[in-house]
Amino acid sequence: MYDVSHNTCKEEEHVVDGVPRRLFVHRKGATRALGPGHPSIPEALRAVGQPVLIGGSMGTASYILVGTAQGMQQSFGSACHGAGRAMSRHAAYRQWQGRQVIDELAGRGILIRSPTSRGVAEEAPGAYKDVAAVVDAAHAAGLAHKVARVEPLICIKG
């Protein structure tokens, strides 16, 4: 289990114009992707960099990446935290019905548990951008390097 938040403001030390500085880094829609050797990374992971979890949708893969030294320089050790929405929740609700999404994903072996079908419709896989393209862009930019691609088995909506 690895806990990641993606809407935070933290005081961190980063190099700006060659000088280490204490900064307040606000990540809205981003997550930390600290590079190898950063003292905030747990000792067991410090040599390789911080794990970066990039979630897809209920019906697409998610990815595990690792922070890079290049990402530290380019983005203060930040990377995207997910695929990002391609349409609003309201638009998704108008386009899909929750039961339809649950049945379609069940046919692919993915179980959905949610207190409402509206929430499922709002989070339909088609409401999100292509997570593979988002991850490929972060990887190509050097913000984080791909480690693993994981497929969903169950999705629990709160």
The catalytic residues are 81
Distance, CA of 68 to CA of 140 (rounded, Å)? 12
Distance, CA of 84 to CA of 64 (rounded, Å)? 16
Which two three-digit tokens encode residue 127?
């409401």
Provide φ and ψ at 107, rounded to 5°.
-65, -20
Which two three-digit tokens encode residue 128?
């999100």
Burial class from Cβ neighbours inside 10 Å (0-12, 13-18, 19+) for residue 118 reads middle
| 132-141 exposure pattern, b = at least 16 Cβ within 10 A, e = fewer | eebbeebbee
- Beta strands at 111-113 and 154-156: parallel, antiparallel or unpaired: parallel
Q: Which residue has the tokens 């988002």?
A: 134
